[in-house]
Amino acid sequence: MKKIIITMLILFQVGLVTAQEEKPKIWSLEDCISYAIKNNITVKQAQLTENSAEINYKQSKYERLPSITANASQSMNNGSSIDPITSSYVTQLVHSTSAGVNASLTLFKGNYINNTIKQNELLVKQNEFFVSEAKNNVLLSVAQAYLQALYYKEGIEVSKNIIASSKEQLNQMNTKYKAGSVAGIDAANLETQLKNDEVTLITVQNNYRQQLIALKQLLELNPEDSFDIAATKLTTEQFAIPELKKVYSYASENLPEIKSAAIQTSIKELELSKAKSGYLPTLSLNAGLNSGYTNTQPYNFINQFDGNFYQSVGLSLSIPIFSKYQNKAKIENTKIEIENSKLSVQSANKQLYLKIESAWQNAISSQSQMEAAIALKNSSKLAYDMSLKKSELGALSSTDLLVSKNTYLNAEQTYLQAKLSLALYYQLLQFYQGNQIQI
């Protein structure tokens, strides 16, 4: 008996633990943003590209150092030939072994190496901006999706309150109908409205679940991961819309997409300097340590390697004379790319201003809509409360009550939408000013 009781207790505890584990984790906006930035695929890809740029930059600095190679060869010649070790003419089977170490150092290449190092350093900085831009894009996407989810979450609460109110009205109407004080059509109208309210709740709940799926995708969560957001109420009472010029002034100086576009011009200017170096000579220093063995000599392997050991050092100069228009074409194309990069900077600033002005105009408009929506909501709520009292006294038909109720519901929906829009565009403006997005 004791064993049975103990087994039941263990099963109960396991079930309790399992139920606790299945409870969805509640995520705040800060949790979502932090997790998304660390795990989003686009951000990771940008970081990998940045790592590659850092490797290229490190490698380009080593171009100032000499290249060193070791070589060894074994050959066999038969008949009349030149001995590769002694350089003498022989007519026999020749076995030869040669080995050496050679080094080459570029002394002058039209400043090509230095410009490559500077260019790769700028590419590292540019890729840092690309990573920041990717993080910002994820941040904005998560914030927008989170606000949309909050909108549906509030809508669920509103729908539940409406259903509770509809049930209460229907119960009162059924009581009056049984007492014979109202017609059956009135009770039927309220019952139909209750079903419509329940359908609306199901729709809003489904929209909320779909929005959570969108958020999970941004966070790169697995489909089976439990997920829900904190029940935060959107507040817009203290929203003060900043000046448009102030927002744009900060954004144009600090946003990574503007900086990356500007640095592209410097990268192309260095590319032009590298292209011009194609007209200049290249001076290189070469040195080597070599030795060898041949069977045509009467000495053993060690003695020959010691005796045939020699050192070499020399300078080589390469002067370009005719490159079949390649250098000229590269210079002209690079000049075109420089002008194109300057236009890209102008375009980036233009697009940024368009985004900021659109967000600012929408924030101003949403603020006005919010004020009107609050007034409409309050007045329609007051009218609906009065209609309820009249209905309870039998002085209002069910049709007129439903009209008043639907007017209030539409006003509530308009209010929620205006609140979402204002919160979204206000947070966008906060982001463009370098402030943290908060709800």
Q: Average pLDDT for residues 159-177, to the nearest whole number?
A: 78
> Which of 352, 368, 355 minimizes the C-alpha distance to 421?
368
What is the separation of C-alpha 148 from the centre of its chain, rounded to a whole number of angstroms?
Answer: 19
Judged on CB neighbours under 10 Å (0-12, 13-18, 19+), 162 is buried
CA nearest to 314, candidates 40, 107, 29: 107
pLDDT tens-digit readout, 272-286: 999 999 999 999 999
CB atoms within 10 A of CB 143: 23
Q: Which residue, chain included where needed, has tokens 């000599």?
A: 297
* Residue 238's pLDDT band (cuts 50, 70, 90): low
pLDDT over threshold 50, residue 11: no
Distance in angstroms (rounded) separating the CA atoms of residues 84 and 325: 41
| Pairwise CA distance, residues 182 & 190, whole Å | 12
Give CB contacts under 8 A, 24+ apart, made by 85-89: 85/292, 85/293, 85/294, 85/296, 85/297, 85/304, 85/308, 86/294, 86/296, 86/297, 88/296
Average pLDDT rounded to a whole number, residues 175-197? 75
pLDDT at residue 252 is higher than 90: yes
Confidence band of 101 (pLDDT split at 50, 70, 90)? very high
Q: What pLDDT is attached to residue 230?
A: 86
- Smallest Cα–Cα separation from 416: which of 173, 207, 153? 153
Reported residue count of the chain is: 439
What does residue 428 show for φ and ψ, rounded to 5 degrees? Answer: -60, -45
Q: What is the pTM assigned to this prediction? A: 0.81
What is the 3-state secondary structure of 262-299? Answer: HHHHHHHHHHHHHHHHHHCCEEEEEEEEEEEEECCCCC
Give, rounded to a whole angstrom, the gap between the first and last alpha carbons of the chain: 56
Q: Quote the DSSP letter at residue 394.
A: T
pLDDT of res. 16: 42
**Residue that has been written with the tokens 């490698």 in this structure:** 59
Tell me the one-letter amino acid at 249. S
CB atoms within 10 A of CB 145: 22
Question: Is 125 or 368 the better-scoring residue by pLDDT?
Answer: 125
Instruction: Delimit the domains of the chain by residue range.
Output: 23-64+109-280+326-432, 81-108+282-319
Mean pLDDT for the stretch of residues 204-231: 89
Is residue 384 within 8 A of residue 162, CB to CB? The reply is: no
Q: What percent of the chain has pLDDT over 70?
A: 91
Compute CA distances 96 → 67, 87, 137, 302, whole Å: 27, 12, 66, 13
Q: Across residues 35-54, what is the average pLDDT?
A: 94
* Residue of 222, 213, 216, 226 whose CA lies nearest to 22: 226
Q: What is the pLDDT of residue 235?
A: 66
More confident residue, 56 or 2: 56
Q: Which of 89-93, 177-181, 183-187 has the lowest mean pLDDT?
A: 177-181
Cα separation, 238 vs 378, in Å, equals 19
Distance from C-alpha of 128 to C-alpha of 108, rounded to nearest angstrom: 32
CATH code matching the domain that covers 23-64+109-280+326-432, chosen among 1.20.1600.10, 3.90.550.10, 1.10.238.10, 2.40.170.20: 1.20.1600.10
Residue 108: strand pairing partners: 283
pLDDT tens, position by position, 328-344: 999 999 999 999 999 99
Q: What's the mean pLDDT when you consider all of the chain?
A: 86
**CB count in 10 Å sphere of residue 174:** 16
Reduced 3-state DSSP string for 93-140: CEEEEEEEEEEEEEEECCCHHHHHHHHHHHHHHHHHHHHHHHHHHHHH
**Mean pLDDT value of segment 364-384:** 88
Provide the pLDDT confidence category of residue 383 given band limits of 50, 70 and 90. Answer: confident
Q: Tokens for 224, please give them.
A: 């089976």
CA distance linking residue 309 with residue 165, whole number of Å: 104
Residue-level pLDDT at 6 = 45
Instruction: Give Cα 147 to chain centroid, integer Å.
Output: 19
C-alpha dihedral sign at 150, 155, 156, 161: positive
Q: 82: helix, coil or strand?
A: strand
42-46, 132-136, 298-302, 341-345, range with the lowest pLDDT? 298-302
* Ramachandran angles phi, psi of 310, nearest 5°: -145, 155
- Dihedral pair phi/psi, residue 323, rounded to 5°: -115, 20
Tokens of 184: 């059956």
